[in-house]
Chains A and B, each alone.
Chain A
Amino acid sequence: MLKKIIFQFLALSLIFTYSAQSAESGGMPQLNPEFWISQIFWLVLTFGLLFIILSKFILPKISNNLETRKSQILENIETADKQREETEKKVKEFDKIINDTKVEAKNFFNSERQKVLDDINNKRLSLEKDIEKEIIKAEEEIDQLKKTSQEKVTKIAIETSSDLIKQLIGEDINKSSLSAIVEDLSKKEMEKHNGI
């Protein structure tokens, strides 16, 4: 039932469309020369005006805009490049300065160290000299003392021995014979002491 209705509807509508089309068909309106001149006239007018306005006013502006943008971008790139190069240069300079200062610091440190070492050395040398001098002096003193002590000891020995003899015997003895004896003894002692 539904199929039949649809089919009838389709057939009817197709017939309707066909009849409507055939009733109105008058060929292609494009081939009707009634308005050809008018169309040509208006085409020439509108397209001509469009062409003139576009080519005289609008397109130069657009191309100008494009050119300026291009040149500006190129300029910007150029300045950016320049600035980058400058920065690289500056960085190099900076590195160089740092290196130089490092070397300088090292040199300074080394030279100062050398100076200090030299100073210490000098002082030590002079000190050693002083000490040597002092030692020599002391040795001389000792030598002197040795010499004088010998005489003093002999003298003391003579006096004490003369005193002793005086108390023992109650009589003075010739000093010269006493001193000869003491000298002889002390010589012997000295020889013993010195290991000769």
Chain B
Amino acid sequence: MAANPMYQFNVYRIGPEIKINNIDISFTNASLFMVISSLAILIIFNLGTKKSIIPNKIQLLAELSYSFISKMISDTAGSKAKPYFSFIFSLFMFVLFCNMFGMIPYSFTVTSHIIVTFVLAAFIFVGVTIIGFIKHGLGYLKLFVPSGVPMVLLPLIVVIEIISYLSRPISLSVRLFANMMAGHTMMKVFGGFVVSLGIVGGWLPLGFSVALTGLEILVAFLQAYVFAILTCIYLNDALNLHH
């Protein structure tokens, strides 16, 4: 492995180059980890569908995550968000598993790439906006006009609201991407210190590395949770227009 802490984020082709209409859609290490994460989710949750009154461990895991996300959605977006449960569940699980697989040494973190998180966030943004316009028609634009604001401040507030609304996909994607990239870079840097300081001075960065691993596992879960809960909050804005 190279000592460059950014080297771990390199995407390279696995297998032959696939091109459709001059567009490169080759199978890469990123694709590999997307496939692995999805397959892991499917296998674990498929094992969790066994029909028994007293659940076994995997079934308990599946059912607990089901009720966890179900509760999260009903707490933040209310009962109207029930049809979007499976999307948010898939989203949370996909991000969580990609983050967690990234924690395995020498693996690749799919969510540390801005393009991946941005596509997810943009899809959510577009979807939420469409849902909002379908549910409320042009009344959805009232989202940008908060109630109880003095008329003098209204032009300013509306502009701020529109900017904050439009920056949602960027903040959502950059939050996940930056967290994952920063964490993995930091771990790599400390790992590099362990190697370069050797047996004499390497113990301190090694300790840091261990501590950071724990922190990064926490961050991996937390960022998946934040990603999902922000999606719920955006969905809540679209479903229940409060302003």
Chain A residue contacts of B94, Cβ below 8 A: 47, 50
Number of interface residues of A (CB under 8 A): 48
A50 lies within 8 A of B38 (CB): yes
Question: Which of B21-29, B156-164, B212-220 binds A?
Answer: B21-29
Cβ contact within 8 Å between B120 and A43: yes
Q: Is the CB of A46 within 8 A of B34?
A: yes
Q: Is the CB of B31 within 8 A of A9?
A: no
**18 sampled A-B residue pairs with Cβ under 8 A:** A13-B197, A16-B196, A17-B3, A20-B2, A24-B7, A27-B6, A29-B6, A29-B11, A30-B9, A30-B112, A39-B31, A42-B25, A47-B34, A55-B86, A62-B62, A62-B66, A63-B66, A65-B59
- Complex CA distance for A53 and B112, rounded to whole angstroms: 25
Q: With an 8 A cutoff between CB atoms, is B128 at the interface?
A: no
Q: Does A185 contact B (CB under 8 A)?
A: no
B53 within 8 A of A: yes
Binding site for A on B (CB under 8 A): 2-7, 9-11, 13, 23-28, 30-31, 34-35, 37-38, 41-42, 45-46, 48-49, 51, 53, 59, 62-63, 66-67, 85-87, 89-90, 93-94, 110, 112-116, 119-120, 177, 181, 192-193, 196-198, 200-201
A30 to B49, Cβ gap below 8 A? no
Complexed CA–CA distance, A31 and B113 (Å): 8
Residues of B within 8 A of A38 (CB): 11, 24-28, 30-31
Query: Using Cβ atoms and an 8 Å threshold, which residues of chain B touch A26?
Result: 6
Q: B90–A65 contact, CB under 8 A?
A: no
B11 with A37: CB separation less than 8 A: no
CB-CB under 8 A for A62 and B7, given A30-B115, A43-B119, A46-B38:
no
**With an 8 A cutoff between CB atoms, is A69 at the interface?**
yes
Contacts of B41 in A (CB 8 A): 50, 54
Most buried by A among B2, B5, B49, B181: B49
Q: Give me the 5 closest cross-chain CB pairs, A-B, nearest first.
A: A55-B86, A42-B31, A13-B196, A61-B49, A24-B4
- Establish whether residues A39 and B38, one from each chain, have CB atoms under 8 Å apart when the complex forms: no
Q: Which residues of A contact B112 (CB under 8 A)?
A: 30
Choose one: A30, A47, A55; the contact of B114 (CB below 8 Å): A30
Specify which chain A residues have a CB less than 8 angstroms from the CB of B31 in the assembled complex: 38-39, 42, 46
Measured between alpha carbons, how far is A29 from B114 in the docked complex, in Å? 10
Asked if A41 meets B120 with Cβ closer than 8 Å, knowing A24-B2, A62-B63, the reply is: no
Q: How far is the CA of A34 from the CA of B26 in the complex (A)?
A: 11
Given that A21-B4, A46-B35 are contacting pairs, would A69 and B114 also be in contact in the complex, using a CB cutoff of 8 Å?
Answer: no
Q: Which has the most chain A C-beta neighbours within 10 Å: B13, B24, B27, B112?
A: B24
Q: Are B201 and A37 in contact (CB under 8 A)?
A: no
Q: Which residues of the partner chain B approach A41 to less than 8 Å between Cβ atoms?
A: 25
Contact assessment for B90 and A35 in the assembled complex, using a CB-CB cutoff below 8 Å: no
Q: A51 touches which one: B30, B90, B119, B177 (CB < 8 A)?
A: B90
A40 within 8 A of B: yes
